[in-house]
Structure 1
């Protein structure tokens, strides 16, 4: 058995070890925070990260640096944060692509979506818009389906995220058509090729696709949500325009490396949630039709688990084989 003096020494040592963590949480953040975005500049995630970053800066006085690390279906950016120091200064601003869909799309990931991260908070949910080049003969969803059935496997659809890809895959399955998938590093790159006529269709997030449709650079055929978007009330839902029951969406969330001290996660959580109500974020939500949704870390963990199961069912049903 320990002597009383030994117990006191152990207690004193434990308290000393806890002091740096307590001080770290109390002072956090004391230097710039980096938001790692696993998609390219101009993507919806990038736009949200910049808006949230501005809100965090307004509250904390610390600069937020946005670092885009696109590619490999968000794996490059996610892996970067998974390997970072667990101190709250490198934050992954991501989507269901890296955290829920990739485990079903790839045989081997360079990170573990659950074990390698501490969830912080949800940041929003949204829908997508089906867009084609204005030169396309398809003026409606039904037109596109008819065109695809007349040319099986010849029409292409591009995607720069799992959300975009699975929306296209689900469309194929439910509409009974065969399209050729063309992968990209990020959704803005897909938009560029769609504008140039290199591909035929895209399921774009509203932040990326809607401005192009509103300026008539692309033609909107339908939205993936169950109800029309208030931002594009004249664009029908895909479900009502030819594919009954079709519905798809995406979500944003913030994560830090596993073993980040709970007090730091809590402080970062409060900063991020506070940022969602600031002017820059409110403008993003309003202009993109994204719903501002936040959560506790535990709620995000539960939500991610449920979403991973849901995406797994969709991917399996679409007969997508892990690569």
Structure 2
């Protein structure tokens, strides 16, 4: 009788533990790594390689708030702009490989920066591990009203007969790549004027110092609505919810396959234990696929994704293959 009672109690206890674990996992809360340590068990540092207000920053703060809400651990978002997001990425690459220093970067840190910036004290493709593609974003082609164009076709026609220029936040950043894809597809020519970040590039176009630029949609839409800039196209394959009347670049140039969208990738130091990576990956998917999170990001022209680590690494391989030929053809190098 005692043995039967003991066995019954053991079974009941096991069932209770299993039920608790299942409830915790399904709610997106931290779960054990298998070594008895749950992630996160302490505050998390999340680096962003751009100033506040851009796609990376908006996504990072939304993501960090959700981690805190779901696990109770604070997430400190730290902006370290510069060198095409390399400054922030470099800090994460050299951090302890324990999953407590993360970085959210546009995919250009992996796809083009190793070719554009040369030695940065770290190798992004070897020293960083991609955990998840959190979101995707695009750029908007805008021009100063004094340029006198209302469509991308008009800009192409003008650029073929007159010397024109365009601004970007630096060599190899998304705005630069989107512009070069546009020029390659249209046959037009414009002189690239790189600035030290997207904010001064935007100001240059607003001031009429530079004619046009591919810039972050949430940043320039208010200026478009105020009549200070003219919107000609968005670089993604689908219209922006912030400006549904602005055509896609594919439609504007009548080239259906034209798409210059970019991804925001959550990364950590290579060598981080697989069990920790698996927990971060799982929590990332739960957060980024949450309908409320996706709806919030959409108001900033961001598409929530939350991929697995394997998917992220596969996507990055494809993006490297897509952008490397363009970078090499242009001979892009940072000063």
- Name the TM-score class by shorter chain: 0.7 to 0.9
CA, structure 1 residues 117+107, in 2 after alignment: closer, same or farther (shift >3 Å)?
A: closer
**1:158 and 2:199 correspond:** no
Among candidates 113, 127, 131, match of residue 142 of structure 2 = 131
8 Å CA contact 2:168, 2:197 repeated in 1: no
Unaligned runs of 5+ in 2: 1-32
8 Å CA contact 1:225, 1:247 repeated in 2: yes
CA, structure 1 residues 191+284, in 2 after alignment: closer, same or farther (shift >3 Å)?
A: farther
Q: CA RMSD in A?
A: 2.4
**1:167 and 2:178 correspond:** yes
**Offset, 1:124:** 1.5
Deviation per residue, 1:141-188 (Å, 9 max, x gap):
122223322322x42322356211111112222222222222233323
8 Å CA contact 2:99, 2:277 repeated in 1: yes
CA, structure 1 residues 203+284, in 2 after alignment: closer, same or farther (shift >3 Å)?
A: farther
Other structure's SS at 2:104 match: strand
**1:44 and 2:55 correspond:** yes
Among candidates 194, 197, 207, match of residue 218 of structure 2 = 207
Higher RCO (CA 8 Å, separation ≥ 6 residues): 1
**Offset, 1:322:** 4.0
**Offset, 1:65:** 1.1
Among candidates 195, 202, 209, match of residue 198 of structure 1 = 209
Other structure's SS at 2:159 match: helix
CA, structure 1 residues 287+217, in 2 after alignment: closer, same or farther (shift >3 Å)?
A: farther
Query: How many angstroms apart in 2 are the aligned matches of 1:145 and 1:97?
Result: 26
Query: How many angstroms apart in 2 are the aligned matches of 1:89 and 1:215?
Result: 42
Other structure's SS at 1:76 match: helix
TM-score of the two chains, using structure 1 as the length reference? 0.84
8 Å CA contact 1:55, 1:276 repeated in 2: no
TM-score of the two chains, using structure 2 as the length reference? 0.81
8 Å CA contact 1:158, 1:201 repeated in 2: no
Deviation per residue, 1:72-126 (Å, 9 max, x gap):
1111111111111111111011111101121232343432222102221111123
The answer to which of 295-304 and 181-190 deviates more is 181-190
Describe how 1:81-120 pairs up with structure 2 within 5 A: 81-120=92-131
Other structure's SS at 2:249 match: coil
8 Å CA contact 2:168, 2:215 repeated in 1: no
Q: Name the count of aligned residue pairs.
A: 301
CA, structure 1 residues 88+218, in 2 after alignment: closer, same or farther (shift >3 Å)?
A: same
